[in-house]
């Protein structure tokens, strides 16, 4: 069964989630913080089973898991790609600007997806995951597929069960 991870920015795409579940796909959301989902509608359209990898100064400890050394190395590489090397891997999250902190959180979300060995990561954050060759670099690094919501919807239309 293919496993699909939806980024937080797709939390309100209930129809897309329902179509994927109807196709027999395993669908979950990843979020780097429960705070991101606090204002979203209830009930959630799919379970949130992919927890972020813990990061000092950023993660909520009861909603994250410890990283292995290889996970940390992958995170550093992903952060470099997502941020176009504008965020140092040893940075203190509280000292980052809002934009750079978003890059950090984007990398955490994608790394959680990869750590769980899920198949397709769906996000409409093109700046972080698609633009400037990022999709190709991240897909090669993580052995996963990255799609926007529109691309995933089209994929659902053209791929039989």
Find where tokens 């550093």 sit.
76
pLDDT at 103: 83
Give the percent of the chain with pLDDT over 90.
38
* Arithmetic mean of pLDDT, 141-160: 94
pLDDT digits (tens, 9 = 90+) for 38-86: 555 455 555 556 666 655 445 555 666 666 677 778 888 998 899 888 7
Q: Is the pTM of this model over 0.85?
A: no
Domain that holds residue 32: 3-158
How many domains are there within the chain? Answer: 1
DSSP state for residue 10 in the 8-state scheme: G
d(CA 135, CA 93): 24
Question: Which stretches within 38-148 are classed as H helix?
Answer: 69-82, 98-115, 126-129, 134-142
- What whole-number distance in Å separates Cα of residue 155 and Cα of residue 153? 5
What single DSSP character describes residue 28?
E
Residue pair 49/28 in contact by the 8 Å Cβ criterion? yes
| 137 cis-preceded (ω within 30 degrees of 0) | no
> What's the whole-number average pLDDT of the chain?
80
- Judge whether 39 and 60 are in contact, CB under 8 Å: no
Query: Residue 55 maps to which CATH number?
Result: 3.40.50
pLDDT at 95: 66
């Amino acid at each position: 069964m293919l496993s699909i991870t939806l980024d937080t920015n797709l939390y309100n795409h209930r129809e897309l989630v329902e179509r994927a579940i109807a196709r027999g796909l395993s669908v979950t959301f990843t979020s780097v913080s429960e705070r991101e989902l606090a204002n979203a509608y209830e009930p959630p359209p799919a379970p949130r089973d992919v927890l972020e990898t813990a990061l000092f100064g950023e993660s909520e400890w009861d909603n994250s898991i410890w990283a292995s050394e290889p996970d940390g190395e992958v995170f550093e590489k992903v952060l470099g790609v997502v941020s176009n090397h504008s965020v140092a891997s040893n940075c203190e999250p509280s000292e980052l600007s809002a934009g750079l902190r978003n890059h950090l959180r984007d990398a955490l979300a994608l790394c959680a997806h990869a750590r769980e060995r899920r198949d397709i990561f769906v996000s409409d954050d093109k700046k972080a995951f698609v633009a400037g060759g990022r999709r190709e670099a991240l897909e090669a690094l993580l052995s996963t597929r990255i799609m926007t919501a529109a691309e995933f919807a089209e994929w659902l239309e053209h791929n039989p069960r």
